[in-house]
Structure 1
Amino acid sequence: MNTLFTEAAGLPVNAAQPVVTFAPVTLTVPDRPAPLEIKVSAPVSGKGLPVILLSHGHGASNFLASFHGYGPLANFWAAHGFVVLQPTHLDFPGLGLRDDVTAGGPLFWRSRVEDMRFVLDHLDDIETIVPGLAGRVDRTRIAAVGHSLGGHTVGMLCGMAVTDPLDGTVLDLRDDRIAAGVIMAGPGAGDGLARTAAERFPDLTTTSFTTMTTQALVVVGDEDHNPMFSDRQDWRADAYHRSPGRNKTLLTLQGAGHMLGGISGYDAGETTDENPERVAAVRALIWAYLRSTLNPGDPAWADAAAALAAQPTPPGHIQTKDNVVDEPSDQLTGCR
């Protein structure tokens, strides 16, 4: 039976408007093995527009792990009032660098963070290059959003710590220009990494959330469990359970796998749980969260949460840390 797809899964959002997309914006980065290419999506009108830095996942697809991916999210957020900046990280398969360990492969976890910071450092250049964008961006309202390995990138921008395997230095690469983060299906703490994954991706074994203080929304699927990565069912929720403070929120999606219904691209072959309405809910809830987080007093998140809870069969549920007594620790496994 043919089913009508909705834009926001019955959740309240503002009116959409046409979107202008410009790509690539190409920036030359000293000592980077390839130029940094960025896709920019923005509404055709409006000023004081908040910014979303969107970090793609690692993935096995040819093009989704680049600025070519995540159209279902980027297009929606731009249509509803955000400027969305999508850098292509060095792990994009098309660059042919994943096997270059000396350059940071296969994950390029550190250069990914440097990419995001470089984009923020050159917002003036981006505004100048993109026709009609100059003077319309609000530099005080910036969020970072990432999926899978992109969630790891966002975690680091929000204060998550990683130990440099070369010299044992604990790296704190947070960026105070990021007012809020959204981590979608990101890797959990290093102590929960399965042996197979630890051997393949040793850089992930030192991930710690005990210093991730920036406010953040953590989005996970309740069926996103792969024993190749971790034995723990709640591993991908560690950014919520193990980070300090009460400024964290957890959105758990029912029946969702790692692609959360297909967020990485339209009709993406790598999606095992394809569900357009789930994608609609994910993007609308993240939009509402960022609206309220970047605009204190905006009721978008409260309205969306109430609408979600009122649905006969909600696609997910929300948790906050309002009732947490003890601060999280990397020695805890968390609970549901």
Structure 2
Amino acid sequence: MSASNTANASATTTVISAKPVILPAPGRGEDLQVRVSAPATGGDLPVLVFSHGFGWSMNGYAPLADYWAANGFVVVQPTHLDSRSIGMPHEDPRFPRIWRIRVEDLVRVLDGLDTVESSVPGLAGRVDRSRIAVAGHSWGAQTASTLLGARVVDADGVPGEDMTDPRVTAGVLLALTGLGDSLTPFAIEHLPFMRPSFDGMNAPALIVAGDHDQSQLSTRGPDWFTDPYTYSPGPKSLLTLYGAEHSLGGIPGYEVAETTDESPARVALLQRLSTAFLRSALSPEDTSWKAAAAALDEDADPLGKVQSK
């Protein structure tokens, strides 16, 4: 367990983190490990479950996890089986199902909130389980979107199982890949689950895309990452970050090798706007998102733009 002061708008808020919190996972091959972060004080804290990108773990994405926790969320970060810390080979018989196991990981977190809440000393009784959101980056965004109503299209073009979870009422989807009609041959062969349907993604969500995010998995350009906004029913908002590539300025962590577009200012904007969106989506009377979007629109030299429907 560790405590830290987050250097941002909530710099005076102490964040407490506990890891690893173990959630039993029969049939998974090994139990699920998660990290739990929360402010040291305060009550009625909403829950935010975050799904990491390929290869990462519960230890990544500190710029987001610490910020959200400092701003009043209980942030739960599971380590999926594709994590480099686990080292599961592509030949593992679980790999063809790994996209589904990822979704099951998030559901297991929701089912295990008693354990999650009791894992951090002093957190019990301070969590508002009526307000639950999901978030994710890249593959993690696809994982999170499934609980919001997105579905994987099968080989015959038919949307597969609906895995919407009614406990989840909002989401933040960062660099979520688009439709599967423009996949590269490599993606078609090795990542057949990257064929989403957004027709049933009805829950409020903030889609975040970088206008310089050129994926090697699609023959299209950066507009591919706006598909979740374009093709899902409202209410949705799209935050386009100018100059951002797939790491959106460095959200996996500061000075990490995967970040090719490091920009603390861009990350700070994403921190502020995602937090404002979550507050308003989980508490309809909250006007944080409206104010934050208006402030960006009025900025003389903005780092991005917001569209809503």
Q: TM-score, normalised by structure 1?
A: 0.86
Q: Cα RMSD (Å) of the superposition?
A: 1.9
Give, as a single letter, the amino acid of the residue that structure 1 aligns with 2:196: T
* Residue of structure 2 in register with 1:210 after alignment: 199
* Residue of structure 2 in register with 1:249 after alignment: 237
In structure 2, distance between residues paired with 1:165 and 1:86: 32
Is structure 2 residue 44 aligned with structure 1 residue 48?
yes
* Residue of structure 1 in register with 2:99 after alignment: 109
* Residue of structure 2 in register with 1:125 after alignment: 115
Q: Is the Cα contact below 8 Å between 1:165 and 1:203 reproduced in 2?
A: no
Q: Is the Cα contact below 8 Å between 1:58 and 1:148 reproduced in 2?
A: yes
Q: Which of 294-303 and 82-91 deviates more?
A: 294-303
CA deviation after TM superposition for structure 1 residue 101, in Å = 4.3
Residues 1-336 of structure 1 aligned to structure 2 (within 5 Å): 16-59=12-55, 65-105=56-96, 108-163=98-153, 170-204=160-194, 206-244=195-233, 246-321=234-309
CA deviation after TM superposition for structure 1 residue 15, in Å = 7.2
In structure 2, distance between residues paired with 1:47 and 1:139: 12
- Taking a change above 3 Å as real, the CA distance of residues 298 and 15 of structure 1, as seen in their structure-2 partners, is farther
CA deviation after TM superposition for structure 1 residue 310, in Å = 2.2
In structure 2, distance between residues paired with 1:289 and 1:75: 17
Which SS does the other structure have where 2:181 is aligned?
Answer: helix
Q: Is the Cα contact below 8 Å between 2:16 and 2:120 reproduced in 1?
A: no
Q: Is the Cα contact below 8 Å between 1:194 and 1:231 reproduced in 2?
A: no
In structure 2, distance between residues paired with 1:309 and 1:208: 31
Q: Aligned residues: percent identity? A: 48
CA deviation after TM superposition for structure 1 residue 234, in Å = 1.0
Which SS does the other structure have where 1:202 is aligned?
Answer: coil
Give, as a single letter, the amino acid of the residue that structure 2 aligns with 1:233: P
In structure 2, distance between residues paired with 1:53 and 1:278: 22
In structure 2, distance between residues paired with 1:185 and 1:16: 30
In structure 2, distance between residues paired with 1:159 and 1:25: 28
Which SS does the other structure have where 2:132 is aligned?
Answer: strand
Equivalent pairs counted in the alignment come to 303
Q: Which of 229-238 and 111-120 deviates more?
A: 229-238
Q: Is the Cα contact below 8 Å between 2:18 and 2:119 reproduced in 1?
A: no
In structure 1, distance between residues paired with 2:235 and 2:42: 29
Q: Is the Cα contact below 8 Å between 2:10 and 2:70 reproduced in 1?
A: no
* Residue of structure 2 in register with 1:324 after alignment: none
- 5+ residue gaps, structure 2, are 1-5
Q: Is the Cα contact below 8 Å between 1:183 and 1:216 reproduced in 2?
A: yes
CA deviation after TM superposition for structure 1 residue 239, in Å = 0.7
Which SS does the other structure have where 2:37 is aligned?
Answer: strand
Give, as a single letter, the amino acid of the residue that structure 2 aligns with 1:67: M
In structure 2, distance between residues paired with 1:7 and 1:287: 15
In structure 1, distance between residues paired with 2:77 and 2:154: 26
CA deviation after TM superposition for structure 1 residue 125, in Å = 1.5
Give, as a single letter, the amino acid of the residue that structure 2 aligns with 1:50: P
In structure 2, distance between residues paired with 1:318 and 1:170: 31
Q: Is the Cα contact below 8 Å between 1:161 and 1:209 reproduced in 2?
A: yes
In structure 2, distance between residues paired with 1:111 and 1:227: 24
CA deviation after TM superposition for structure 1 residue 39, in Å = 0.3
CA deviation after TM superposition for structure 1 residue 34, in Å = 1.5
In structure 1, distance between residues paired with 2:154 and 2:81: 19
CA deviation after TM superposition for structure 1 residue 14, in Å = 6.5
Q: TM-score, normalised by structure 2?
A: 0.93
Q: Which of 290-299 and 187-196 deviates more?
A: 187-196
In structure 2, distance between residues paired with 1:203 and 1:50: 31
Give, as a single letter, the amino acid of the residue that structure 1 aligns with 2:29: P
Q: Is the Cα contact below 8 Å between 2:152 and 2:160 reproduced in 1?
A: yes
CA deviation after TM superposition for structure 1 residue 269, in Å = 1.2
Give, as a single letter, the amino acid of the residue that structure 1 aligns with 2:199: T
Write out per-residue CA displacement over residues 277-303 of structure 1, whole angstroms, 9 at most, x where no aligned residue.
Answer: 111110110000001111111111111
In structure 2, distance between residues paired with 1:313 and 1:289: 21
